[in-house]
Structure 1
Amino acid sequence: MDIRFDDRVAIVTGAGNGLGREYALELARRGARVVVNDLGGSGSGHGQSATAADRVVDEIRAAGGEAVASHDSVATRAGGAAIVAAALDNWGRVDICINNAGFLRNNRFEDLTDKQIDAILDVHLKGAFYVGQPAYRAMRRGGYGRMLFTASASGVFGHAWQANYGAAKSGLVGLSNVVALEGSAYGIQSNVLLPTADSRLAAEMDPGFMEIPAFADAVRNADFAASEGRVVLPFNVPLALYLVSEACSATHGLYSSNSGRYARVRICAVEGWVAPAGTTPPTVEDIGAHFDQIERMENWSEPMTVYDEFGAVARAARAQGVYS
């Protein structure tokens, strides 16, 4: 299989450094025309410069590829519209949108300020709307599209001192799920990637999170035996590019890339406990009496819509003899 992107137009936000830069360079090497978007801020989201995006565009062009720079902010509707307009004005279409822009501002949950919360939500979550919506409209007109949202294990699994970042990143999971459902009518696929890489954002990590005993134990006891030399940017590129390729038919998915291990991450519901038949709700004590069964990891299902869960409930009720 030779994965190519000839004649495809890709938008990559936050492409001046880190993962975004790697995605843009490899997309271009495989034939894509790329909008390299980057505001040029620091790892904490401060400052602005055209240098980062321009440098990546120069690299792509020097290698014989096609690219244009966008220095617009994803955190405003006007910025998002301008980013997509750069693709449409230059090449008349949008086929791929990788929402990657982001930064870190860490603090204790109870100490997070409005500036620390709003700035993260504006770029990571609202930015995905501001760029994603006009990109989606262009994809719908073309009858084809690949959306990739960059979430994080910090949100899906948890990381102390990153409540703002984790909340924004987990919000992207819900966003992608809905885009995948709506996009299925128009040839548009949407997935989420949880990349793991030692990027410049690592410099923004405050070791103060080690004050949390259970989290500090998790850090100290982590087994990195399979990770040496593999928690680097290039190890995340193959899965990201496959997910936005024509070869990929998967959509509505959540995928982890960690140390060379690539895996589907599932949000599922176990069979649980079904209350007795009838219209009388159980008591709080009933829940307590059956909580072990509610937590038991067996006979799980993965609903793809909120309505799919009703079918899982019916199956559980029949299995437990509550309804025939």
Structure 2
Amino acid sequence: MGKLDGRVAIITGAGRGIGREHALLFAREGAKVVVNDLGGANDGSGNDAGPAQQVVDEIRSAGGEAVANTENIATWDGAQRLVEQAVTEFGGLDILVNNAGILRDAFIAGMDESQWDAVIAVHLKGHAATLRHAAAYWKAQSKAGVPVRASVINTASASGTFMPNAGQGNYGAAKAGIAALTLVAADELERYGVRVNAIAPIARTRLTLATPGMGALFAAEVPAGEFDAFDPANISPLVAHLAEADCPLSGKVFAVQGGAITELQGWTGIRTVETDGPWDLDNVAKALSEEN
């Protein structure tokens, strides 16, 4: 008996990489999976129904239940249709895993508007759009007296939390926003029986292989029989645990890579300077220049 038996899951960006590993593990654990993937390139351009359908075929050939979805989750309407498909195909929705993402790296001084807008749209708006429509469904269920034991797992990043990366101002800003959105949603949706957490994964994917200065690290060959710390399959057990009906965790952000899981904490005050009266430019400068 699987730990996700009977639960219905939407997983975005599930045609490749980390999302694919989520979908395969969820199905092995008994979940019914809606495999969402627009099938675009790293930068979000184009579309291809093949990746989502290939994962569905793989799940079905192993005896699992899955359907493909190629909606653009960066649009409100696309996200709504995605949620509606899960409810129509499988009779409900219990899990939302927001994983879809793109890269359009650029240094801030040379970034154009489209590079900013596209990354914010897919990552931050894409999380918000699916979350909005899933939350509306769960709120309606709760108001109707139907017990809800739902789980949302968002995907932040080291780039937006503890390891800012030059050239990824758009990506880092979106991922930091996702971490903040996670905490707000956890607070709001608890009343409806919904838990919300986030992960900041580090693994070998199309996006990390294309990240300047990091691709060589992720592409390094692992000798046969040795533990591959960058295998995207290492990420999925944490996500599946957070998706379990009985998991108590909510409002958490976890960094996960290889065999390590680290609970993260947001902005934390490290020192306070004070004055007995009003601040002026001189005493601000003096206070901030003093050693602890």
**How far is the alpha carbon of 1:274 from its aligned partner?**
5.8
Change (3 A) 1:285 1:101: same
- What is the alpha-carbon distance in structure 1 between the residues aligned to residue 55 and residue 20 of structure 2? 7
- What is the alpha-carbon distance in structure 2 between the residues aligned to residue 154 and residue 271 of structure 1? 21
**How far is the alpha carbon of 1:90 from its aligned partner?**
0.9
- Alignment RMSD, CA only? 2.2
**How far is the alpha carbon of 1:136 from its aligned partner?**
1.3
Aligned-pair identity in percent equals 37
- What is the alpha-carbon distance in structure 1 between the residues aligned to residue 200 and residue 243 of structure 2? 15
Aligned partner letter, 1:174? A
**How far is the alpha carbon of 1:292 from its aligned partner?**
6.8
Answering whether residue 196 of structure 2 is matched by residue 190 of structure 1, we say yes
Of stretches 21-30 and 85-94 in structure 1, the one that deviates more from structure 2 is: 85-94
Answering whether residue 290 of structure 2 is matched by residue 285 of structure 1, we say no
Answering whether residue 153 of structure 2 is matched by residue 154 of structure 1, we say no
- What is the alpha-carbon distance in structure 2 between the residues aligned to residue 292 and residue 187 of structure 1? 48
Q: What CA deviation, in whole Å up to 9, does each residue of 1:16-71 have, x standing for no partner?
A: 00111100110010010010000011122121111000010111111111111101
Given that 1:37 and 1:72 are in contact with CA atoms closer than 8 Å, whether structure 2 keeps it comes out as yes
2:137 matched to which residue of 1? 138
Computing the radius of gyration from Cα coordinates, the structure with the larger value is 1
TM-score by structure 1 length?
A: 0.79
TM-score by structure 2 length?
A: 0.88
1:316 matched to which residue of 2? none
SS at match of 2:40: coil
**How far is the alpha carbon of 1:285 from its aligned partner?**
3.5
**How far is the alpha carbon of 1:9 from its aligned partner?**
0.5
Given that 1:87 and 1:94 are in contact with CA atoms closer than 8 Å, whether structure 2 keeps it comes out as yes
Change (3 A) 1:115 1:268: closer
Given that 2:273 and 2:287 are in contact with CA atoms closer than 8 Å, whether structure 1 keeps it comes out as no
Change (3 A) 1:129 1:282: same
**How far is the alpha carbon of 1:264 from its aligned partner?**
0.3
Q: What CA deviation, in whole Å up to 9, does each residue of 1:283-314 have, x standing for no partner?
A: 34334344378x96xxxxxxxxxxxxxxxxxx
- What is the alpha-carbon distance in structure 1 between the residues aligned to residue 270 and residue 177 of structure 2? 25
Of stretches 267-276 and 188-197 in structure 1, the one that deviates more from structure 2 is: 267-276
Answering whether residue 18 of structure 2 is matched by residue 19 of structure 1, we say yes
**How far is the alpha carbon of 1:72 from its aligned partner?**
0.7
Given that 1:3 and 1:242 are in contact with CA atoms closer than 8 Å, whether structure 2 keeps it comes out as no
- What is the alpha-carbon distance in structure 2 between the residues aligned to residue 174 and residue 160 of structure 1? 21
**How far is the alpha carbon of 1:203 from its aligned partner?**
3.8
- What is the alpha-carbon distance in structure 2 between the residues aligned to residue 271 and residue 26 of structure 1? 40
**How far is the alpha carbon of 1:269 from its aligned partner?**
2.8
Answering whether residue 169 of structure 2 is matched by residue 166 of structure 1, we say no
- What is the alpha-carbon distance in structure 2 between the residues aligned to residue 134 and residue 54 of structure 1? 24
Change (3 A) 1:171 1:49: same
Structure 2, unaligned runs of 5 or more: 218-225
- What is the alpha-carbon distance in structure 2 between the residues aligned to residue 269 and residue 60 of structure 1? 43
Aligned partner letter, 2:285? G
Number of residue pairs matched by the alignment: 275
1:270 matched to which residue of 2? 269
SS at match of 1:93: coil
2:116 matched to which residue of 1? 117
SS at match of 1:184: helix
1:215 matched to which residue of 2? none
Given that 2:3 and 2:29 are in contact with CA atoms closer than 8 Å, whether structure 1 keeps it comes out as yes
- What is the alpha-carbon distance in structure 1 between the residues aligned to residue 283 and residue 45 of structure 2? 52
SS at match of 2:116: helix
SS at match of 1:81: helix
2:253 matched to which residue of 1? 254
- What is the alpha-carbon distance in structure 2 between the residues aligned to residue 269 and residue 247 of structure 1? 30
Structure 1, unaligned runs of 5 or more: 210-218, 220-226, 297-324
Q: What CA deviation, in whole Å up to 9, does each residue of 1:81-131 have, x standing for no partner?
A: 111111011122111001100111111111111111111111101111111
Could you list the structure 1 runs, at least 4 aligned residues long, displaced by more than 6 angstroms after superposition: none
